[in-house]
Amino acid sequence: MLLLRRFCLVAPFANDMASLIDLANPTRFMRFSSLLLPWLTGLSVLFLAVGFYLAWFVAPPDYQQGETIRIMFVHVPAAWLAMMFYSMMAVSALGTLVWRHPLADVAQKAAAPIGACFALVCLITGALWGKPMWGTYWVWDARLTSVLVLFLIYLGIIALWRVLDEPSRAGRAVAILTLVGFVNVPIIKFSVDWWNTLHQPASVFRMGGSTIDGSMLWPLLVLALGFTLFALMLHMLAMRAEIMRRRVRTLTILEAERLDRLAVQAQGTPA
């Protein structure tokens, strides 16, 4: 009976896992992503267009921060995505190290530049928001410094991918670095609670509900969804490029080996 109950609980997840594992096949992923990409592109354009319209023409200026609140609509989604992409990379790193998943390090490599760009957007827009509101572009407090560290970790990961030629060796080294760096993600999230900082505490996802008025919250959520779909579309495209790069590498090596064999045969054949 207990076994049956366990089976009932596990079976639906087992099906989900099986379909995920099916997708992990690069050929299936290429087919699936070519079907999904146009939809992701269309939806991201739609949500971004509606989101920017709401952010610029519907959301009112803040009673304290005035029009500078419009910077929030790009700063906050960029911060979320910088952390989300790093978390995705940490899961992929586990996939590389524990399950030797064929697409895990492809996903990780493709995600790094996208996460780095969103971390950079977060830092630049944060500095441009900080100057008029705090009177300074930068302070070395916990939130700002931990996001800068996240950006530097992203750069380190991208550099490590470029230094090591052999993809599976590079994938394992990067996976270890990614998992070590993951300790920074909860530090970013909770830095505003653990230390005194100029940065405001969490105001959207918090116990007791959001402290942002609906007239600003909805444009923010629509834009966040638009940016997320856009980033996932870029990630899928970058993964496809990486799969093709690996195929090109393998075929080039096979071709070189074939030419080598032909050269040896030609030398061994008497004239």
Interacting residues with other proteins (CB under 8 A):
61, 66-68, 70-71, 74-75, 78, 113-114, 117, 120-121, 124-125, 128-129, 131-132, 230, 234, 237-238, 240-241, 244-245, 247-248, 250-252, 254-255, 258
Q: Which is nearer to other proteins, 104 or 234 (CB)?
A: 234
Q: Which is nearer to other proteins, 20 or 248 (CB)?
A: 248
Give the shortest CB-114-to-other proteins separation in angstroms.
Answer: 7
Give the shortest CB-208-to-other proteins separation in angstroms.
Answer: 29
* Residue 139 phi, psi dihedral angles, 5° rounding: -135, 150
Report which of 104, 82, 85 is spatially closest to residue 24, judged by C-alpha positions: 104
> What distance in Å separates the CA atoms of residue 173 and residue 116, rounded to the nearest whole number?
19
Q: Which is nearer to other proteins, 16 or 257 (CB)?
A: 257
Q: Which long-range contacts (CB under 8 A, 24 or more apart) does 107-110 make?
A: 107/235, 107/239, 108/171, 108/174, 108/175, 108/178, 109/161, 109/171, 109/174, 109/242, 110/235, 110/238, 110/239, 110/241, 110/242
Q: Which is nearer to other proteins, 15 or 250 (CB)?
A: 250
Give the shortest CB-168-to-other proteins separation in angstroms.
Answer: 18
Q: Which is nearer to other proteins, 187 or 246 (CB)?
A: 246
Q: Which is nearer to other proteins, 10 or 259 (CB)?
A: 259
Give the shortest CB-122-to-other proteins separation in angstroms.
Answer: 10
> What distance in Å separates the CA atoms of residue 233 and residue 239, rounded to the nearest whole number?
10
Two tokens, residue 251: 């075929």
Q: Which is nearer to other proteins, 180 or 251 (CB)?
A: 251
Two tokens, residue 129: 């928001």
Give the shortest CB-243-to-other proteins separation in angstroms.
Answer: 8
Q: Which is nearer to other proteins, 8 or 266 (CB)?
A: 266
Two tokens, residue 13: 């997840």
Report which of 232, 220, 151 is spatially closest to residue 185, judged by C-alpha positions: 151
> What distance in Å separates the CA atoms of residue 92 and residue 119, rounded to the nearest whole number?
19
Give the shortest CB-21-to-other proteins separation in angstroms.
Answer: 25
Give the shortest CB-75-to-other proteins separation in angstroms.
Answer: 7
Give the shortest CB-78-to-other proteins separation in angstroms.
Answer: 7
Angle formed at CA 180 by CA 100 and CA 249, multiple of 5 degrees: 40
Alpha-carbon distances of 21 from 24, 86, 93, 101, rounded to whole Å: 5, 22, 16, 9
